[in-house]
Amino acid sequence: METTLIILKPDAVQRGLMGKIITRFEEKGLQIVGVKMMQISPELAATHYQDHKGKPFYDGLVGFMTSAPVLVLAIKGVGAIAICRKMMGATFGSNADSGTIRGDFGVSNSFNLIHGSDSPEAAKREFGLFFSEGGVLDYERKIESWVYDMSGGDPE
């Protein structure tokens, strides 16, 4: 099991897509273990996107991410990082396949609806930025044996 950080960006929130996007993750069988609606500060955006500092799109990205509230999620499951990234689709909505979040809801190359951690290391760093201690829960779901084959003891 791994946990990934997902941010429903200002465009997803403003367009009223939060429920539809969360539903996709839940219907896939992933577990929501943390939720936080917030307004990202310029300082937090700068820290979160520090790897992009100096790139031509950086200022616009920080401005966009601080322009309206976002919904931050912690999502848990076997292979959650790769699964969520596949569900998100290509970075640009205009290039994303139908059936993905960006492919179904986006056309813009600037407003791409959703962020997802790209590695376990990134997820750990991002959780430290967006959730305080106790903000991500570890709880048992009664449906786990219907989501994963547990016959070998471990979910697969």
How many CB atoms are closer than 10 A to CB 29? 15
* Residue numbers annotated as active site: 115
**What's the burial of 77, exposed, middle or buried (CB within 10 Å: 0-12/13-18/19+)?**
buried
Q: How far apart are CA 136 and CA 127, in angstroms?
A: 8
Which amino acid type is present at position 11? Answer: D
Q: What angle do CA 35, 38, 39 make, to 5 degrees?
A: 160
